Amino acid sequence: MFQLSEIIAITKKEFKLSIRFKTAYLLNTFVNPVLSIIPLFIIYYGFLHYGGAEGFGGIDLSNYIAFLIFGIIGQAFFYNGINAFTLKFREEKYWNTIESLFAAPINYLSLIIGVGINVILNLFPLLLIFILIASFFSVASLIEISLIVLMMIILFALCLGVGLIYGALTLFSENFDPVFRYFFAGWTLLSCFAYPIQIIPEEIRFIVLANPVYYAVTFTREIWINHFIDFNAFFFVLVFAVIMPIISVYIFKIAWKRMEIQGY
C-alpha cells in the first residue's frame, strides 16, 4: 500500500523542481489564469451591457462574473489534472530520470497523489483569488465554499486519473499525443466551462449530460449563484473520481510491461 512518507517525498520533489525558475513559476501560477478570464469578461459584459442581450441559459448581468469565474476554475483544475503526467513524464524522459521512477519501489497510487498534491498546491492560490473576486458580487457561506473546494479536488482526482493514462501512453509513443489532445478539445467543448448547456445543439446534449466534468462545474455554480447543493451531481462526480485513478494505475502498469519508451 502507499505510504505517507513516499507521498510527501514525491510532493516535495515536484515542488522543488517546479520552483527552479521562480519568476516563471509565479507568473504561470498567478498571472496566466487571470489573463485567460479577461477576454471572456469583455465578451459577456459587451453582450449583456451594450448588446441588448437580457440573458441566456440563466446567465444575466447579475451573475455572469460568478458564472465565468467558476467555469474558469473548473477548466484550470480539468486542464492541469489532464496534463500533469504528460508534462511530468516528458520532462523526466528527456532528463533521463524517468528510469529512476521505475527502478524505485514506488507505489503508483502514491505517485498519483504526490504529483497531484503538488499541482493542486499550485492551483489553490488561483482558487482562493477567484473565490475572493466572486465574493465581491455575491456571498457564500463557509460550508458552501468548502463544498466548492472539495468538488474541485474531486474533479482534479478524476482528471488526474485520465491524465495518467494520457501521460503513460504519450511517454511510450508521442504519436498518441495529438490524438488525445483532439479528444480533450472535444471534452472541453462539451464541459461548458464558458457557456451554458443551452448553447450545445440538442442532438448532442446527452453527451454533456453524461459528462462528470460538466456536473462538477455546474455544482459549484449552483452553490454560488443559487445556493443550491446538488448532491446527485456531487456523488456522480465522486464515483468517477474514485474509479478513474484505480483504472489508470492498472492501465499504466500494463502499458509499462508491454511497451517501451520511444524517442529518446
Specify the residue for cell string 489553490.
124
The one segment of 7-15, 41-49, 133-141, 151-159 that binds another protein by CB under 8 A: 7-15
Question: Which of residues 9 and 129 has its CB atom nearest to another protein in the complex?
Answer: 9
Among positions 1, 20, 22, 50, the unique one binding another protein when judged by CB under 8 A:
20
129 binds another protein (CB under 8 A): no
Among positions 22, 50, 102, 232, the unique one binding another protein when judged by CB under 8 A:
102
Give me 160's grid cell: 488526474
User: What are 59's strand-pairing partners?
Assistant: 56
Among positions 1, 38, 104, 142, the unique one binding another protein when judged by CB under 8 A:
104
Phi and psi angles of residue 18, each rounded to the nearest 5 degrees, phi first: -75, -20
201 binds another protein (CB under 8 A): no
1 binds another protein (CB under 8 A): no
In terms of C-beta distances under 8 Å and separation of at least 24 residues, what long-range contacts does 26-34 make, across chains too?
29/122, 29/125, 29/126, 30/125, 30/126, 30/129, 33/72, 33/76, 33/126, 33/130, 34/129
8 binds another protein (CB under 8 A): yes
Largest CA distance in the chain: 62
Task: Point out which residues bind another protein (CB under 8 A).
Answer: 3, 5-6, 8-10, 12-13, 16-17, 20, 95-97, 99-100, 102-106, 256-258, 260, 262
